[in-house]
Structure 1
Amino acid sequence: MLLTAVGFSRDLPAEPLILTLVGQVHHAAPVNYMFNAGSNYLVEGDIKFTPQSGENYTVKGYLSESYSAVWLASSDGKQASDAIVLEGDPDKESAKLKALSAGAVVIPAYAKTNVKPTIQQANVAAESSREYGDNPLANIDQGTSAKLLIERMGEPEHIKIIETNFFSKAPETHIYHYKDIGSVEMIKSVADRNLYSQRTFLVTSDEGQQFTNVIAKANGVETQLIGKKFFNIGVYDINYLDALATKVWENKFTEDRRMLDGIAWYCRIISNSGTSRYQDFLSSIDDDDNISSKLRGHCNKAKKQIDKLKLAKVEQFKPL
């Protein structure tokens, strides 16, 4: 019952075309269409469109009981084509399908309808209303291709690759990290082997400013959760890495199982950071027989992983 949605893209000639656009609800299993009868929304129609050479377009849409629409957006997120619009309940004859060629698509506000939003619609509305200031990652849509992402954001500072898991059949994942603004999780499509955005991890100003304090004050449970979260996202800022290393050093003799697991995750995060700044620190933990073998093992693996990169020696981290 698991559905992993990823993008798909193809090249089009830069000449007048007739394109069929479709917006449709999908389920992980056919039986779910029966359980969700009345909400399997579908809007489909043809538009005349002439792509511009070198431009990237994304199929955008909105699906609901009373109003559904689908259109093309350019790389800057603006509507670039006519829209196919379905007004009214699609299961009733009164529903009208039309091509909207004048003006931009305006999604009706929940307040203007008598339809109570579903939980999923409500979550989307809440997510879209979050304030991220001028963080450009806030405008990255799910399904954005790596080509389009790099066109808009530039090359990432770091790319972490999580290979396919044979047992879970999870697709290959790449984490594109952009310094000071966050990361984007990119999923490799089975259909065309290209990478598409699954979600973004934004670093808000508050989170950035408070990161060091949060790490220092976190208990075992919190440290474990932070470790798992940022192992997937990646940490590359030296100030943040120093905070993680300090936490490891201060708790290297801990008997708290969750704290131990959390700081072990921190060692793995440090090993993925791509810097040799923590080699002496990792060695000092690995060499201390009084420290848990679990933590020593992770520090040993971290040191070896960084050694393989053959990085230039830099000023070493010195715990207080």
Structure 2
Amino acid sequence: MESSLPSSQILDSDGNAERKNEAKNYNEVMSTLPKVKGLRGDDYYLYQGFWYAPFFLERLMSVQEHFHPQSTDIFVASFPKTGTTWLKALTFAIFTRSRLSGSTTSSLLSKMPHDCVPFLNYNLAQNPSNRDLTIPLLSTHVPYSCLPKSIISSCCKIIYICRDAKDAFVSLWYFHATLQRSKNVEPLPLEEAFELFCNGIANFGPYWNHVLGYWRASLEFPEKILFLTYEEMKKDTAAHVKKLAEFMGCSFTLEEEEEGEVQKIIGMCSFEKLSNLEVNKNGKCLLDISIPIPNSIFFRKGEIGDWANHLTPEMGARLDDIMERKLKGSGLKLPR
């Protein structure tokens, strides 16, 4: 439906009639989609080549229909549990550093990174005006090919992060297991979840197709898409912080570098610092969705190679083999 209103007001202005119509259309589409049981025991639906739980699919369809970005927007994109929280913290700290005017008080000290950088497919699906328009940072787990056409056709920039599939899986399983236990629900055993993941079944999965979509887009539009890996960022964080600032159009000045601004941001966004903040130990994020999530479950370890403590060598080799086959010919080799 065409509207002369700003995009941030479209959903709120059209009233209940359009919402009911959207719900009807959504249910009609859902009834035609292939489905399987997912990591949390609920149904996952195959939509445009990727699997989604109903909660995520409904919001995806909404943003595909309604969302229109600002030309200056920068999207932090990722598959879940691949470094999203850290990248959000870094990009937010880098972009807002000039606002502090000598103060050491950053919103990151009192707000969860996911609340500093709103999710396109969570927060903004329900309320597109739920953002600070002066901060052009948004985030998404949506695969590249499923992004709203308004984003793909725009001059918006995208920063994508991924990591070794084995660590991504273990982190994802722990996230779901912890969330399930907090609701007194027995989580899916790791071995069963691993089988699903190896078959591509996960929210926003298959993982390899998610990674490949952004990788290929970064080769086609290098000025618009910055492709990063968690492992390389951990290896040389300072270089990547400067790369991020340059890509976002807010490079560090020589004076800032001499004053240690890069290291200050790295320290403020470190796992140790963020995980020990009161808001991240006891607060909840995504309060505008039906099930707010405890902030603490986003801070487990932040380590590379932890998969070896949870998967057998055979399981690790199997997932490595799958990733190698799926990425073959793309020119992309993820850290292992």
Q: Shorter-chain TM-score category?
A: under 0.3
Higher-helix-fraction structure? 2
Q: Mark the structure with the bigger radius of gyration.
A: 1
- Asked which structure has the greater RCO (Cα within 8 Å, sep 6+), the reply is 2
Higher-strand-fraction structure? 1
Q: Give me the TM-score of the superposition, normalised by structure 2.
A: 0.22
